[in-house]
Structure 1
């Protein structure tokens, strides 16, 4: 079986720099967004989707130079990040001041639904984070903090109530019959929790070094009903290391996705094989027996995402 069209190489990712409403806002105008599997939540018609096959979840990525940030927003379904490269500060709350955490390569954050969140590259080099979004339609888009929409308007970008962006710098304007996206009211804003870091971090953040120690003999469940971060966001995430590689072929009844974070990994199936490097993404069809093992010596870590029958609903229970 030829799976070439189900492998997206890091070096072949097609970026979009106009994906969201803050694309012109100073401090956020150097972001690069990538939609790897599924339509994602991009607001731009310029966003390229690499794999359109439904998986029950979406895979995307964000690349940012140092000091570049992603503005405060919320989602109705799960948003899970792991750091591929760089050092990242994640912050949350109406103004981004309720709490924060610094994550390093391999660390993973299951961000609760229904809270405003943002992130910035606080490292010294270009960094990349990989994202898993719940549901095939990723929850119907992004909910922006009011100040983000206001700042964007001051720099030429308007978001229509249809979820599409219009750029006055390109001579675009809202079509007849399409109103601007309304700002959230005070009453609506009051519905967004402001959890402190002490409430979020133990339940929603897992460090790679801790996970890799637990995955020394068998894959460790990171996100799932029995995971280190117990949750049912519509998919499960596990970590494989050298000691817990899938040397014996496994088969899933739903598509799964392989995402190396450290080392090179050889995926083998009847009639083919492929070697994946950090930043590569591979979609494995349901029903296909396959093995997944490191191909060279050294540190080896790989996240595996599998869809479930659970609805891609809220993940904050504070």
Structure 2
């Protein structure tokens, strides 16, 4: 049995793709309105397979050896602490991208702190929930420090259309998924402000360099950032309006309103990353610009000027 906590778009999409393979899946929803019968409100027109059971009681997960945590990073730590008695000792796979603003930790560190007996892993990479739910081919990174556990999870969670690549570099995979959200906001600002595709390409390239610098400073392998969880996810989220982070940045750049009920992980992550950069002495001008812009400390004009006025240097 596989448990999935969080019946948002991504959690529901994972339930759909695993359920279509006939696997026994239990999907937990805090808000019953997210699911009406076997239909997900977050994925219009997509029906959950019969092998997916819906529950609002975490005790139903007692038989689950593997639990996917499809919750926003900023609420993950509190949820794990509150429900550690039920979740400890299981394989817990974080399905979120970000850095916890309160602790400056990634999802697997939050798992380890709240559930020390759990086997922690993270599932990340370039993916839109609607693509997964529609059965379109998708490849993701599964990162687990324990190679044997990672191997088991890779086979347990892969499907005919969801291909998982394994790594033990958890730090690199986590930071790739977290940092690309910040760069995606900046890319959205560029396009929303009408600065053009050439400017976006330059922004993505320099943003990627920032991602690698911080990841290496925190002990990650640079090549991990060149994979699905870094470069792959960066390309996807910086070039599509399906990305919430890109849409948010686009609204900022175009001076338009944005739905405040939409979770935009890159907002909190930009602030956490700026703190991490200061702690490690890593120069991250794009992340710093995003953090200042979303906080209202600088205007859009000032944000653009802050990047264009950077000193000329060797690439």
TM-score, with structure 1 as normaliser: 0.29
* Structure with greater helix percent: 2
* Structure with greater strand percent: 1
